[in-house]
Amino acid sequence: MSANAKSTVTVLGLGAMGSAIAERLRRTGHTTTVWNRTAAKTRPHVEAGSAAAPTVADAVRASDLVLVVLLDHASVREHLDPVAAELRGRTVVNLVTTTPNQARETAAWAAEEGIAYVDGAIMATPDMIGGPGSRLLYSGDEAAYTSARSALETLGTADFEGADAGLASLKDMALLSALDLMFSGYVQAIAMMRTVGVPAVETAREVQAWLEPMLSYGPGLAAIIDGGTYDTGGQSVDFSRAGQASLITASREQGISAALLEPHKKLLDELAATGRGDSDWLRIVDLLTISK
Ligand code: FVH
């Protein structure tokens, strides 16, 4: 029987995200069984209509579809490995944040154990689950994904990235990297403006107003990278180096470290030192590839 047909779902892990997921599944008419290491956290879920299982094995036996919302890769393997026999023939959707290779490792283990495995990545915060901005990425066993899809779609937009179980995680890590670097930029700007008494909130508003129209240039920059020639006459390495040097000097003059800015300048310097100062600055993308 498919995971959809039974419409029963087990949720392992009732932290902020697991709780939001269990609640959303209940609200959308799914019969839910929950398990959490700290059993007290199951109480509000039981009061709201879920069944609580005393052990992971009991929780797994209750449903054809098992959603894993524990902390990290280690906690996933700690709790799934011992119940491989119970998981056999069921669908596991692992929503825990892991690296692509950790996802592939769990997928290989699941394949050996006869468990249908889908790896997921949640591009949302707990309060967004089930709302319009919530998006979840999936990769791995496509047939299992398809069978679980109607339950998964209640959590947010569901996008299947491909059969390689690491793909959802890879995109998650890539998008989170962009987010982290962007917000590091907020912190740098805030630190600089605080030196003249401007509150962080005010600078954050300024940064947002500045970045919103700038973001529309992203696809054009990406097209230069896809073109691969780096000779479009856009902003060059040498031009960017001068700009970056000013940012670094201005930070230091205000008594602010340039530690967040320096890596970018270092990559530009490397291109200039190897005779590529006239290239589009986006050529730094080539320096990010580490040969294995
Ligand atoms: N919260 C968010 O905004 C992000 C959004 C993007 C995706 N992440 C990932 O989702 C996973 C769960 O995150 P969470 O927000 O639910 O995390 P916590 O509230 O800290 O709850 C953690 C749960 O994991 C249980 N747990 C931790 N270690 C173990 C262990 N060794 N064995 C069994 N369970 C463990 C913990 O149990 P307890 O402390 O209540 O007993 C919670 O149920 C995560 O991968 C995020 O990166 C969320």
User: Which pLDDT score is estimated for 4?
Assistant: 42
Output the CATH code of domain 8-165: 3.40.50.720
Per-residue pLDDT in tens (0 to 9) along the chain, 292 residues: 444 444 799 999 999 999 999 999 999 999 999 999 999 999 999 999 999 999 999 999 999 999 999 999 999 999 999 999 999 999 999 999 999 999 999 999 999 999 999 999 999 999 999 999 999 999 999 999 999 999 999 999 999 999 999 999 999 999 999 999 999 999 999 999 999 999 999 999 999 999 999 999 999 999 999 999 999 999 999 999 999 999 999 999 999 999 999 999 999 999 999 999 999 999 999 999 997 6
Q: How far is the CA of 26 from the centre of ligand 1 (A)?
A: 20
CA distances 83 to 77, 115, 117, 242, Å, are 10, 11, 14, 59
Q: How far is the CA of 21 from the centre of ligand 1 (A)?
A: 12
Beta-carbon contacts of residue 208 (< 8 Å; ≥ 6 apart): none
> How many separate helices (H) and strands (E) can be counted in the chain?
14, 8
> Is pTM beyond 0.85 here?
yes
Burial (CB < 10 A; 0-12, 13-18, 19+), residue 258, is middle
Q: For the beta carbon of residue 286, count every other beta carbon within 10 angstroms.
A: 14
Beta-carbon contacts of residue 129 (< 8 Å; ≥ 6 apart): 17, 20, 21, 23, 24, 155, 156
User: Which pLDDT score is estimated for 184?
Assistant: 98
- CA–CA distance, 67 with 35 (Å, rounded to integer): 11
- Nearest CA, atom 7, ligand 1: 122
Q: How far is the CA of 10 from the centre of ligand 1 (A)?
A: 16
User: Which pLDDT score is estimated for 60?
Assistant: 98
Question: And the tokens for 268?
Answer: 């530009």
Q: Which atom of ligand 1 is found nearest the CA of 124?
A: 5
Burial (CB < 10 A; 0-12, 13-18, 19+), residue 290, is exposed
Among all chains, which residue has been given the structure tokens 């000779």? Answer: 231
- Give 176-211 pLDDT, tens digit per residue: 999 999 999 999 999 999 999 999 999 999 999 999
- Nearest CA, atom 17, ligand 1: 15
- Look at the domain 171-288 and name its fold: N-(1-d-carboxylethyl)-l-norvaline Dehydrogenase; domain 2 (1.10.1040)
Question: And the tokens for 167?
Answer: 């793909």
* Two domains, one topology: 8-165 and 171-288: no
Question: For 141-253, where are the E strands, in sequence order?
Answer: 157-160
Domain ranges within the chain, ordered by starting residue: 8-165, 171-288
Beta-carbon contacts of residue 157 (< 8 Å; ≥ 6 apart): 134, 135, 136
Q: Which atom of ligand 1 is found nearest the CA of 70?
A: 24
- Nearest CA, atom 3, ligand 1: 125
Q: How far is the CA of 44 from the centre of ligand 1 (A)?
A: 17
User: Which pLDDT score is estimated for 138?
Assistant: 98
Q: Which atom of ligand 1 is found nearest the CA of 17?
A: 16
User: Which pLDDT score is estimated for 245?
Assistant: 98
User: Which pLDDT score is estimated for 291?
Assistant: 78
